[in-house]
Amino acid sequence: MRTSTRITGVLTGLTLALGGAALAAPAAHADIPACTSTVEMSGVTVTDAVRAACTRGVVNDLAGCVNGLTAAGVAGGAANGACRQAAHEPR
């Protein structure tokens, strides 16, 4: 087998493998800014505890997110809405 044919085959295989991995990768579901914005609209200052709770919402830990936001002083309904925002793709 000629070297140029072998190199072409390796490059083609690498391209297909990397392209397939990119297509199979899950979409990023993170909207921390929407979560923190909802918290601000509820009248609570965004702190590190709020950001940490919103991060839990990003990984679909809704209960952990709501509990964290409630502990930071966010009302239950606003905390629930903020955590649901965190779990969605950014717009």
Residue 37, SS3 per DSSP: helix
Q: How do residues 23-76 score in pLDDT, each as one tens digit?
A: 443 444 468 999 999 999 999 999 999 999 999 999 989 999 999 999 999 999
Distance from C-alpha of 32 to C-alpha of 41, rounded to nearest angstrom: 14
Q: C-alpha angle with apex 65: 71 to 61, nearest 5 degrees?
A: 150
pLDDT above 90: residue 16: no
Confidence of residue 22 (pLDDT cuts 50, 70, 90): very low
What is the predicted pLDDT for the residue at 25? Answer: 38
What is the predicted pLDDT for the residue at 31? Answer: 85
Q: How do residues 1-15 score in pLDDT, each as one tens digit?
A: 577 666 565 556 545
Confidence of residue 82 (pLDDT cuts 50, 70, 90): very high
CA 20 to chain centroid, in Å, comes to: 21
Q: C-alpha angle with apex 72: 69 to 78, nearest 5 degrees?
A: 40
